[in-house]
């Protein structure tokens, strides 16, 4: 169990013990799977000669090897940034330039794409030194996490590892994660939800870590739970809808399931409870800027009328609405785990996140009831005006997601040559046939107002092997 607090540093022996118990879902430990121990990775990273606070981009697939690289960088006083291994080299180069990164670690790379001839071994990966970085704008113990797309693709949040571990501990307490649990990570570890609320939460609680995908496939997910005796798992609403579409009960070892990353409809919460009637179900809310988790609902303990809520704030987190007299408004979060600052190329239209010491504006519209429960109503950017009427894109998504078989939908706001605004809809379903589009349109037309109805609906078959947040 990792026991850091704001006055202490990460303990290498505790980290090594945590990683030694972790396995990949295929059953391999790092060394048995062509990987390397924590000491090996620390030694290899040190040979790169990076300055304290130097940024290391980790473009690695999910696995214990990625968690090992992440902790090794922190123990060396470097600043890790995990990104998708699918990001093209040209985009990585621009990202490195905007954020001041010093090195890149990937499974495979061509040094010439990064203006160098030399690649170095770092654990089971390869590394290149990135040009143009002599000093650093960061301090040992800091962590970079990519921001949401609203801030631009070349921006990041700066956090301190101590506050991330503190947030992980609070999240673990809110969902009852225990040392005897076996926690499965199947979401991408370059998302704050996965690295903090799952990997870090396992580390601070003493739970054993099992790492798999993406990509996500229901069959392999169930297999991993059964094979490793997994008791704790986290999924996104997209994955939850895939599991509901199959309708098969979850493996009996699964004591607790948490859902986060987006809003889930209350009827789908009820459906998940029926897939695991003896288990616990937690609905969570958070955002990278908050560090990341903010609130949790213990859905299995609540009446159905609260299944549309994301619950109560975590210990040490205070929430309020911008405009104190408003019945609903933009959620403000006050916590000692919020980001230190944003860096990189911030989009000109991006709103100011930090509104006071330890306080951020989320950009999300909420209602808070008399008991303090939080109800998500949409994002500030979710509202458009169509034919003079204010339309909530969240309402359109909710209506589509309520249709059986719909796994994901994406509203697209289009402006015609004459300046009129329309909403088109991309819908991905479990089973596609010739009548699917007409069936979806009939259901939407019966539920949505005329101004809310999409002009065009494009329907496709969801690929269960592709991860969607």
Reported as a pLDDT band with limits 50, 70 and 90, residue 122 is very high
CB 265 within 8 A of CB 168: no
Would you say residue 155 lies in a domain? Answer: no
The pLDDT of 344-369, averaged and rounded, is 86
What's the whole-model pTM score? 0.87
Q: What's the pLDDT score for residue 8?
A: 42
In this structure, of 40-54, 180-194, 341-355, 387-401, the range with the lowest mean pLDDT score is 341-355
Q: Is 423 helix (H, G, I), strand (E, B) or coil?
A: strand
Would you say residue 150 lies in a domain? Answer: no
Q: Based on the fold, state whether residues 102 and 204 are members of the same structural domain.
A: no
Between residues 414 and 40, the one the model is more confident about: 40
Q: Based on the fold, state whether residues 132 and 276 are members of the same structural domain.
A: no
**DSSP states of 356-367 as a string?**
ETTEEEEEEEEE
In whole angstroms, what is the distance from residue 76 CA to residue 72 CA?
A: 6
In the chain, % of residues over pLDDT 90: 74
In whole angstroms, what is the distance from residue 266 CA to residue 401 CA?
A: 11
Q: What's the pLDDT score for residue 398?
A: 85
Q: Based on the fold, state whether residues 340 and 267 are members of the same structural domain.
A: yes
CB 10 within 8 A of CB 78: no
Domain boundary (379, 398, 433) is at 379
- How many structural domains compose the chain? 3
In this structure, of 18-22, 143-147, 385-389, 406-410, the range with the lowest mean pLDDT score is 385-389
Q: Which helix (H) or strand (E) holds 373?
A: none
In whole angstroms, what is the distance from residue 243 CA to residue 250 CA?
A: 9
Q: Based on the fold, state whether residues 101 and 133 are members of the same structural domain.
A: yes
Q: In which domain, by residue range, is 435 found?
A: 387-461
Would you say residue 88 lies in a domain? Answer: yes
Q: What's the pLDDT score for residue 133?
A: 74
Would you say residue 6 lies in a domain? Answer: no
371 Cβ contact partners less than 8 Å away, ≥ 6 residues apart = none
- Residue 63: Cβ within 10 Å count: 25
CB 282 within 8 A of CB 257: yes
In the chain, % of residues over pLDDT 70: 93
Q: Quick check: 152 pLDDT over 70?
A: no
Q: Based on the fold, state whether residues 310 and 263 are members of the same structural domain.
A: yes
> CATH no. for residue 32?
3.40.50
Q: Based on the fold, state whether residues 164 and 136 are members of the same structural domain.
A: no
Q: What's the pLDDT score for residue 34?
A: 52
Reference 195, options 101, 290, 291; nearest CA is 291
Between residues 348 and 133, the one the model is more confident about: 133
Q: Based on the fold, state whether residues 197 and 328 are members of the same structural domain.
A: yes
Q: What's the pLDDT score for residue 6?
A: 45
Domain boundary (354, 379, 404) is at 379
Q: Quick check: 465 pLDDT over 80?
A: no
Q: Which helix (H) or strand (E) holds 112?
A: none
CB 230 within 8 A of CB 253: yes
Q: What's the pLDDT score for residue 395?
A: 84
Would you say residue 128 lies in a domain? Answer: yes
Q: Quick check: 392 pLDDT over 50?
A: yes
Q: Based on the fold, state whether residues 181 and 312 are members of the same structural domain.
A: yes
Would you say residue 2 lies in a domain? Answer: no
The pLDDT of 222-250, averaged and rounded, is 95
Q: What's the pLDDT score for residue 30?
A: 55
pLDDT (tens digit per residue) in 75-112: 999 999 999 999 889 889 999 999 999 999 999 999 99
Would you say residue 106 lies in a domain? Answer: yes
pLDDT (tens digit per residue) in 293-350: 999 999 999 999 999 999 999 999 999 999 766 789 999 999 999 999 999 987 665 6
Pairing of strands 155-160, 341-344: antiparallel
In Å, how far are 297, 300, 318, 360, 367 from 372, measured between CA atoms? 12, 18, 10, 19, 9
The pLDDT of 56-75, averaged and rounded, is 97
> CATH no. for residue 322?
3.40.50.12780
Q: Based on the fold, state whether residues 253 and 322 are members of the same structural domain.
A: yes
Q: What's the pLDDT score for residue 372?
A: 96
In this structure, of 50-54, 122-126, 147-151, the range with the lowest mean pLDDT score is 147-151
Domain boundary (342, 363, 379) is at 379
Q: Based on the fold, state whether residues 64 and 107 are members of the same structural domain.
A: yes
Q: What's the pLDDT score for residue 355?
A: 93
Q: What's the pLDDT score for residue 467?
A: 63
The pLDDT of 2-24, averaged and rounded, is 80
Q: What's the pLDDT score for residue 4?
A: 52
- Residue 316: Cβ within 10 Å count: 13
Q: Quick check: 28 pLDDT over 70?
A: no
Would you say residue 3 lies in a domain? Answer: no
> CATH no. for residue 398?
3.30.300.30
Q: Based on the fold, state whether residues 242 and 280 are members of the same structural domain.
A: yes
The crossing angle, in degrees rounded to 10, of helices 38-46 and 12-21 is 130
Q: Based on the fold, state whether residues 353 and 402 are members of the same structural domain.
A: no
């Amino acid at each position: 169990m990792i026991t850091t607090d704001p006055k202490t540093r990460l303990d290498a022996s505790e980290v090594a013990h945590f990683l030694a118990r972790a396995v990949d879902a295929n059953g391999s430990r790092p060394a048995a799977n062509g990987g390397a121990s924590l000491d090996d990775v620390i030694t290899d990273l040190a040979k790169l000669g990076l300055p304290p606070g130097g940024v290391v981009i980790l473009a690695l697939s999910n696995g214990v090897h990625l968690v090992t690289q992440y902790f090794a960088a922190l123990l060396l006083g470097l600043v890790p940034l995990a990104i998708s291994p699918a990001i093209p080299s040209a985009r990585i180069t621009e990202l490195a330039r905007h954020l001041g990164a010093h090195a890149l670690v990937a499974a495979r790379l061509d040094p010439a794409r990064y203006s160098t001839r030399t690649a170095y071994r770092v654990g089971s990966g390869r590394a290149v030194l990135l040009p143009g970085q002599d000093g650093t704008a960061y301090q040992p113990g800091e962590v970079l996490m990519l921001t949401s797309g609203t801030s631009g693709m070349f921006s990041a949040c700066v956090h301190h590892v101590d506050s991330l571990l503190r947030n992980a501990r609070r999240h673990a307490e809110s969902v009852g994660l225990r040392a005897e649990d076996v926690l499965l990570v199947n979401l991408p570890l370059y998302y704050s939800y996965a690295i903090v609320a799952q990997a870090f939460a396992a580390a601070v609680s003493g739970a054993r870590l099992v790492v798999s995908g993406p990509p996500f496939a229901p069959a392999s997910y169930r297999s991993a739970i059964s094979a490793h005796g997994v008791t704790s798992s986290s999924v996104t609403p997209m994955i939850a809808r895939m599991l509901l579409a199959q309708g098969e009960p979850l493996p009996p070892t699964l004591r607790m399931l948490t859902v986060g990353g987006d809003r889930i409809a209350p009827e789908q919460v009820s459906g998940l409870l029926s897939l695991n009637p003896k288990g616990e179900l937690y609905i969570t809310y958070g955002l990278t800027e908050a560090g990341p988790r903010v609130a949790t609902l213990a859905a299995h303990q609540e009446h159905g009328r609260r299944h549309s809520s994301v619950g109560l704030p975590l210990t040490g987190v205070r929430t309020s609405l911008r405009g104190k007299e408003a019945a609903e408004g933009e959620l403000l979060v006050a916590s000692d785990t919020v980001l230190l600052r944003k860096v990189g190329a911030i989009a000109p239209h991006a709103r100011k996140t930090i509104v006071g010491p330890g306080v951020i504006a989320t950009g999300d519209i909420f209602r808070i009831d008399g008991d303090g429960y939080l109800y998500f109503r949409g994002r500030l950017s979710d509202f458009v005006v169509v034919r003079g009427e204010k339309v909530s894109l969240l309402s359109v998504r909710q209506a589509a997601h309520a249709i059986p078989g719909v796994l994901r939908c994406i509203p697209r706001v289009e402006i015609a040559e004459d300046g009129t605004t329309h909403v088109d809809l991309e819908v991905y379903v479990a089973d596609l046939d010739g009548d699917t589009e007409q069936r979806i349109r009939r259901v939407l037309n019966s539920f949505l107002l005329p101004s809310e109805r999409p002009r065009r609906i494009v329907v496709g078959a969801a690929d269960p092997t592709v991860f969607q947040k």
